[in-house]
């Protein structure tokens, strides 16, 4: 790179949508989760706004923040009920109509086939701004949505985590992300604090947890991700050492 030129910094903003956040009934966990994930991608979260479930508030926030950042993420308000207005509000902000995405309808039909069937209310979760693509969601049936530089995600943190997982390494401007896997025969809940401490101790690293039940035993694969291979290696080694120090059975490349 020529002297005097600095590396372009890609930026993102987040709009957290929901009356329950503003009232204090629900504590938001997505700001920290999305900030950490973006950091691993090499993209900087530069502003966050919390808005009520009001169309005008969502439209104003979306249009101002998407204009001055490379990416805009939103969380909340994409469920099946009448007060889930995010898709309609963002469509209004973008000046497009709302359509039922055929692939979203298929995903919801599969998900609800054994859960009482796809009702008209549940089909609301297949509504997207016209021209949008989907963000796969392996946790529940309803996918996330991408339209232009706007990413529309769930408010429930573990569902958001699954959507972020799908997007890992795919955003332009982000550095390539490497991953390391540590497998362990342990119940995920028993090591949740240990995982959080390990992630906090390693800058620019995220740790994802993927539990399973196999051969009558519970276990989990912990996936360490970073744009810095050395940081990923150090975090994975630290995690394996800490688990073994607690007497856990660890598999270096995952189970």
What pLDDT does 239 receive? 93
**Which is more confident, 2 or 96?**
96
What is the rounded distance in angstroms from the CA atom of residue 245 to the CA atom of residue 171?
Answer: 37
Structure tokens at 16: 């957290």
> pLDDT tens for residues 217-232?
889 999 998 888 999 9
Structure tokens at 230: 């050395």
For 109, phi and psi rounded to 5 degrees?
-60, -40
Q: Cβ of 93: how many Cβ atoms within 10 Å?
A: 20
> pLDDT tens for residues 55-65?
999 999 999 99
Lowest-pLDDT range, 10-14, 117-121, 138-142, 204-208? Answer: 138-142
For 105, phi and psi rounded to 5 degrees?
-60, -40
For residues 208 and 220, is the Cβ–Cβ distance under 8 A?
Answer: no
Q: What is the residue-averaged pLDDT of the chain?
A: 88
Is the confidence at residue 1, as pLDDT, over 50? no
What is the rounded distance in angstroms from the CA atom of residue 118 to the CA atom of residue 136?
Answer: 18
175, 181, 187, 192: CA torsion to nearest 10? -40
Query: Edge-to-edge strands of the sheet including 150-153?
Result: 44-51, 11-17, 71-75, 150-153, 144-147, 133-135
**Which is more confident, 83 or 2?**
83
> pLDDT tens for residues 16-35?
999 999 999 988 989 989 99
Kindly state the percentage of the chain with pLDDT values over 90.
Answer: 45
Is the confidence at residue 47, as pLDDT, over 90? yes
Q: Cβ of 137: how many Cβ atoms within 10 Å?
A: 22
pTM of the model: 0.74
Residue 141 pLDDT level (bands cut at 50, 70, 90): low
Contacts of 72 (CB under 8 A, 6+ apart): 12, 13, 14, 15, 62, 65, 66, 149, 150, 151
Tokens 């609301």 label which residue? 124
Kindly state the average pLDDT of the residues 156-185: 87
Residue 14 pLDDT level (bands cut at 50, 70, 90): very high
Is the confidence at residue 169, as pLDDT, over 50? yes
Kindly state the average pLDDT of the residues 154-169: 89
Kindly state the average pLDDT of the residues 77-88: 86
Contacts of 41 (CB under 8 A, 6+ apart): 168, 169, 171, 174, 175, 177, 227
Q: Cβ of 67: how many Cβ atoms within 10 Å?
A: 10
Kindly state the average pLDDT of the residues 75-86: 86
> pLDDT tens for residues 172-193?
887 778 889 999 998 888 888 8
What is the rounded distance in angstroms from the CA atom of residue 209 to the CA atom of residue 83?
Answer: 32
What pLDDT does 145 receive? 94
CA-wise closest residue to 209 among 175, 251, 158, 169: 158
Kindly state the average pLDDT of the residues 57-81: 93
For residues 124 and 84, is the Cβ–Cβ distance under 8 A?
Answer: yes
């Amino acid at each position: 790179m020529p002297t005097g030129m600095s590396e372009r910094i890609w930026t993102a903003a987040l709009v957290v949508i929901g009356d329950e956040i503003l009232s204090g009934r629900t504590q938001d966990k997505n700001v920290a989760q999305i900030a950490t994930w973006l950091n691993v991608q090499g993209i900087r979260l530069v502003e966050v706004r919390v808005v009520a479930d009001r169309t005008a508030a969502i439209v104003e926030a979306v249009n101002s923040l998407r204009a001055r950042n490379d990416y805009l993420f939103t969380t909340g308000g994409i469920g099946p009920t009448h007060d889930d207005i995010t898709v309609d509000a963002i469509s209004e902000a973008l000046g497009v109509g709302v359509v039922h995405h055929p692939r979203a309808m298929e995903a919801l039909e599969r998900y609800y086939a054994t859960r009482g069937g796809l009702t008209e209310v549940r089909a609301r979760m297949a509504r997207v701004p016209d021209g949008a693509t989907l963000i796969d969601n392996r946790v529940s049936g309803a996918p996330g949505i991408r339209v232009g530089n706007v990413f529309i995600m769930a408010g429930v943190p573990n569902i958001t985590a699954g959507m972020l997982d799908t997007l890992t390494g795919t955003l332009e401007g982000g550095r390539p992300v490497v991953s390391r896997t540590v497998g362990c025969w342990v119940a995920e809940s028993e090591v949740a604090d240990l995982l959080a401490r390990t992630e906090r101790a390693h800058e620019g690293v995220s740790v994802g947890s993927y539990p399973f039940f196999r051969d009558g035993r519970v276990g989990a694969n912990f996936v360490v991700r970073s744009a810095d291979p050395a940081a990923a290696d150090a975090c994975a080694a630290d995690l394996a050492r800490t688990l073994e120090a607690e007497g856990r059975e660890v598999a270096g490349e995952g189970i």
